[in-house]
């Protein structure tokens, strides 16, 4: 992507949140990362998100994150739009990564600053400083799980910043979703940040979703999204119900831990998590194997297990 206009135009559809595969020693498996990216592009995903929350960005150095950005953007070669998470607790790192992401043709994804007792005025000021650094604009990530929950009124203020092209919304309270969809739709792109409960936001008029579990179940989640996209809500509902058991495990044992374990069981490059996270234990893997076997037995899922 070369500028704000192209960035906004291409920012829609289903984006795979690509996990960062680590070796048992904690090193980044760049080849495995690129294979995972290639898989979802080949399947027909509209875009990818790199180095986000479930890409374990808080455990990565700035140099590692920059290396991941460069390697992935080379591999993608502009075939699909790429969100590059430049969030961080140090504004100096955020500035460096935001500028790099835009320079590479990706869309930087920025969270509010991780500072206690920060005011709304300071949050707006922070985004006004970051947004002009990228020629492709920025994506505001409202991520309650890792920082401050941005209220709808504050998100409306951020939407007025010219270089903000979209919001990735992690607060999926139905009232909040309804408010954002009706007040911000058309002004900028709205993304649902969770595939665990994406049907509601999409029915309200959101422009797309980012999906972590599509690393493990890429065929099934893509099929559900495409059904909803073409107006077939019944099929989308039925396909979403298929992986309810998996979602229960994901909520209980955590993402990206379960996603990586499921990817490994399928022969994908899930790899390991990095400390302070811990790979799921064998009893959990056994439960996950049962759930994947059940899904593979249903032809609607598209799930195929390795021999």
45 labelled catalytic: no
Q: Which residues pair with 48 in a beta bridge?
A: 16, 82
Between CA 307 and CA 290 the distance in angstroms is 15
Q: CA separation (Å) from 141 to 79, 118, 130, 287?
A: 23, 17, 13, 32
How far is residue 118's CA from residue 95's CA, in Å, rounded to a whole number?
18
Separation in Å, CA 153 to CA 116, 179, 207, 224, 289: 20, 10, 20, 32, 44
* Annotated catalytic residue within 12, 45, 54, 141: 141
How far apart are the C-alpha atoms of 195 and 54, rounded to whole Å? 13
Look-up of token digits 């811990």:
278
Number of Cβ within a 10 Å radius of residue 265 = 18
Phi, psi at residue 169, to the nearest 5°?
-100, 115
2 is catalytic: no
Catalytic residue among 45, 54, 168, 260: 168
Give the whole-angstrom CA distance, residue 197 versus residue 71: 31
Which residues belong to the active site? 141, 168
């Amino acid at each position: 992507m070369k500028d704000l206009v192209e960035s906004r135009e291409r920012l829609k559809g289903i984006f795979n949140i690509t996990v960062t595969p680590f070796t048992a020693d904690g090193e980044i498996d760049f080849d495995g990362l690129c294979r995972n990216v290639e898989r979802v592009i080949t399947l027909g995903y509209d875009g990818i998100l790199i180095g986000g929350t479930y890409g374990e960005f808080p455990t990565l150095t700035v140099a590692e994150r920059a290396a991941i950005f460069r390697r992935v953007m080379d591999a993608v070669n502009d075939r699909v739009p790429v969100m590059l998470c430049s969030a961080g607790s140090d504004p100096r790192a955020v500035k460096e990564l935001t500028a790099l992401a835009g320079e590479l043709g990706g869309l930087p994804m920025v969270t509010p600053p991780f500072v206690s007792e920060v005011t709304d005025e300071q949050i707006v000021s922070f985004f006004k400083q970051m947004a002009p650094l990228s020629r492709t604009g920025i994506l505001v990530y409202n991520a309650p799980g890792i920082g401050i929950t941005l209220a709808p009124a504050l998100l409306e203020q951020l939407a007025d910043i010219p270089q903000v092209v979209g919001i990735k919304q992690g607060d999926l309270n139905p009232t909040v979703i309804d408010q954002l969809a009706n007040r911000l739709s058309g002004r900028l792109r709205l993304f649902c940040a969770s595939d665990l409960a994406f049907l509601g936001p999409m029915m309200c008029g959101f422009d797309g979703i980012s999906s972590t579990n599509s690393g493990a179940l890429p065929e099934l989640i893509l099929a559900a999204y495409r059904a909803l996209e073409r107006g077939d809500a019944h099929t989308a509902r039925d396909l979403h119900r298929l992986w309810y058991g998996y979602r229960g495990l994901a909520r209980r044992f955590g993402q990206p831990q379960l996603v990586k374990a499921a990817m490994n069981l399928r022969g994908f490059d899930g790899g390991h998590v990095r400390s302070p996270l811990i790979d799921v234990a064998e009893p959990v893997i056994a439960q996950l194997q049962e759930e994947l076997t059940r899904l593979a037995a249903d032809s609607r899922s598209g799930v195929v297990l390795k021999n």
